[in-house]
Amino acid sequence: MNHSAKLYHNPQCSKSRAALEYLQSTNRAFTIIEYLKTPPSTTEVLELCAKLNIRPLALIRAKDKRFHELGYTTGGERSHEAWAEILSKNPQLIERPILIIKGKAAIGRPLENIIALVESC
């Protein structure tokens, strides 16, 4: 079984770069997914949320300028699937970085979340 880690990475984000640097220092095998270039599908967003044990709305960068430019608010009655689709179509709104190892996941805000996940696996 492949236990390679996956890092959902945005090279423009300092937190994401810090997570990448940390993972490189561990000598652990991992795959980098530049999710802005290769956005996750709606199903993949829902799977990420399940691993993170959060709802898709909690994965959204609601303070991001783009979120408001698109006219979204965190209120209303959107389903989990609808939020996941919004994230799939607008990957810049996804909180980052995200690390997945052995079916578990963590958002690297703060980096200590990723460190704790790596140390637990």
Span 23-59, pLDDT tens digits: 999 988 899 999 999 999 999 999 999 999 999 999 9
Distance from C-alpha of 58 to C-alpha of 95, rounded to nearest angstrom = 9
The domain spans of the chain are 5-120
Place of tokens 């997914």: 33
Give the chain's length: 121
| CATH class of the region 5-120 | alpha beta
Q: What angle do CA 65, 48, 100 make, to 5 degrees?
A: 110
Instruction: Please tell me the predicted confidence (pLDDT) of residue 3.
Output: 55
- Cα dihedral 43, 74, 78, 59, rounded to 10, equals 10
Distance from C-alpha of 119 to C-alpha of 121, rounded to nearest angstrom = 6
Which residues are designated catalytic?
A: 13
